[in-house]
Amino acid sequence: MGSTELYIGLMSGTSLDGVDAALIRFDTNGFHFVEAVFHEFEPALKRELLALNQAGDNELLRAAWTGNILAARYATAIADLLTRAKLSARDINAIGCHGQTIRHRPDLGVTIQIGNASLLAELTNITVIADFRSRDIAAGGQGAPLVPAFHAAAFLNPEHNRVIVNIGGISNLTWLPSAGTVTGFDCGPGNLLLDAWAQQHLGTPYDRDGAWSACGRVLPDLLQNMLSHPFFAAPPPKSSGRDMFHLEWLNSLLAAQYSPEDIQATLLELSARAIANAIRQYCPDADEIFLCGGGAHNTALRERVAILLPNLPIALTGTLGINADWVEAAAFAWLAYRAQHGLPGNLPAVTGARGARILGATYPA
């Protein structure tokens, strides 16, 4: 390979809002963000992806067919990205495609991401690297979160004890001490329940800036019942997803007298507490916090985390050089680069795997 290499990372996460595609350049000076695009999923695709998180009629065929649809949507996003960057497929070394998670049960040794990497390679004429989680799980790990290794490469600073918090459907953090071992784990629900409750009661994809949450009051009993979920007390390594936190779980804890806006306020408090409690317990020497992911734009959530952690400055990762919206997609470009160069992509201290592993399966162009 030449001294300059270009990789595309694709991320469609638990929030089910769409696909992020980020273009990253690697050269002798490291890696550099070049360009990114976001393509929203149409409502029918969102509904089917959500439905596939649970067992259903003809589920295997539906998952495979939806994987084909996803590959087409990914290919469209990549074409847009290449047009914006004034590049062609032959300029790209590989695509790192996370795929769409529809099951994540590391306790059973199972994780499933759909997206048909073979079809994506055909549609783009670019080598695709996918299925990043499976090898880590095969080595006894959680298979997630995988982004802490990238956070360390992009954001570690020998003069600061940093926490990087990604607030997607599920929130996760990376502890970047100025010296010592990098760790990370899932904190709990980020946007997942907030978005689902807003969709059910407002008919909107999400509660913009947490405005509806601000209309309600926190319900102490409900909050305590939610925080009593065993996940929150479990030590790292740990990961989560829709298999664990979903509307059915929430509904099982609700009482008839709760108002929808009070429930939303309590869900926001749950997301904030999950992040703040994790930082207090596992990052006690933190100097600063940087947020990324869609939830970083939720003003009410961001302000609540700041109130719970009053002595820690909080900013977005854009101040460190990568816009908060593109960090995860950039991470999968980085993971694709690592795979093509025979370099490990996981951090055993994060996932609990038996050792460092090269992640991903390659689908040549």
Q: What is the pLDDT of residues 136-179, one digit of tens each?
A: 999 999 999 999 999 999 999 999 999 999 999 999 999 999 99
Do 297 and 200 lie in a common domain? Answer: yes
Is 120 part of a structural domain of the chain? yes
This prediction has a pTM of: 0.95
Contacts of 286 by beta carbon, 8 Å cutoff, 6+ apart: 161, 162, 163, 175, 279, 312
Q: How many domains does the chain have?
A: 2
Q: In the prediction, which pLDDT does 3 show?
A: 84
Is 320 part of a structural domain of the chain? no
What length does the chain have? 365
Distance from chain centroid for Cα 313: 23
Do 168 and 285 lie in a common domain? Answer: yes
Is 318 part of a structural domain of the chain? no
Residue with tokens 């590959």, as numbered in its chain: 71
Do 173 and 267 lie in a common domain? Answer: yes
Do 75 and 151 lie in a common domain? Answer: no
Is 276 part of a structural domain of the chain? yes
State which residues form the domain around 228: 147-312
Do 155 and 296 lie in a common domain? Answer: yes
Do 210 and 278 lie in a common domain? Answer: yes
Do 351 and 291 lie in a common domain? Answer: no
Task: Give the CATH number, domain containing residue 341.
Answer: 3.30.420.40
Is 319 part of a structural domain of the chain? no
Other Cβ atoms less than 10 A from the Cβ of 141: the count is 24
Is 103 part of a structural domain of the chain? yes
Q: In the prediction, which pLDDT does 1 show?
A: 43
Do 137 and 283 lie in a common domain? Answer: no
Do 121 and 204 lie in a common domain? Answer: no
Three-class secondary structure assignment of 68-106: HHHHHHHHHHHHHHHHHHCCCHHHCCEEEECCEEEEEEH
Is 122 part of a structural domain of the chain? yes
Do 158 and 97 lie in a common domain? Answer: no
Do 138 and 43 lie in a common domain? Answer: yes
Do 175 and 307 lie in a common domain? Answer: yes
Burial zone of 112 (CB within 10 Å; 0-12 exposed, 13-18 middle, 19+ buried): middle
User: 191 near 291, Cβ under 8 Å?
Assistant: no
- Ranges of residues in the chain with a pLDDT under 70 are 1-2
